[in-house]
Amino acid sequence: MLITTNSPTNTVEPSEPSVGTLVAASFTEPDYRDGFDVILGEDGVDDVAEFARAYFLSQPRWLSLVSMNLVTRQRLVEEVGDGDFAMGDTIGSWKVFDRSDDEIVFGDHMGFMEYRFSFRRVDRHLVQASTSVKYVWPRVGPVYFGLVKPMHVRFVLMSLRTTARRIVEDRR
């Protein structure tokens, strides 16, 4: 399945979640994992933080309200700031749980489940986005995530396509 952006050189493709990554190490036995390759073609990104900044700043207002609990665009811009994304930094309800030169792991503890997602820059033209979920309450977590999973995949694809377009626009 290939999902293309408006740019013929940029695509978002579902992929196998990577092993040996920071996000893969988040949970010993995750209950759910997914992965997506964002192929940026000639546009590329200089580092993973550039991609993360574009991701957060290209979110539709309603999605940043729902997923990050950020009410205003100004607050989002302030929290993204210079986009260093050091461990412990927060962007709305998302916290930076782990960080390397090429990968940033964001996440949230929702009480009944733990949620992590990461962006990992494989090279200038390929960024992998991955999600990992661990149920804390074995009865509530699966029910909740079972209900939101179709929306999760849809929103991730939408957000990654929007981010790829923003990177192209920012380079012009």
The domain locations on the chain are 3-171
pLDDT of 23 > 80? The answer is yes
Q: What percent of the chain has pLDDT over 90?
A: 56
Q: What is the CATH number of domain 3-171?
A: 3.30.530
What residues pair up with 120 in beta bridges, in sequence order?
103, 128
C-alpha distance across the termini of the chain, in Å = 29
pLDDT band at 65 (very low <50, low <70, confident <90, very high): low
pLDDT value of residue 101: 96
**Mean pLDDT of all residues in 128-139:** 94
Query: What pLDDT, in 10s, does the model give residues 135-150?
Result: 999 889 999 999 999 9
pLDDT of residue 130: 97
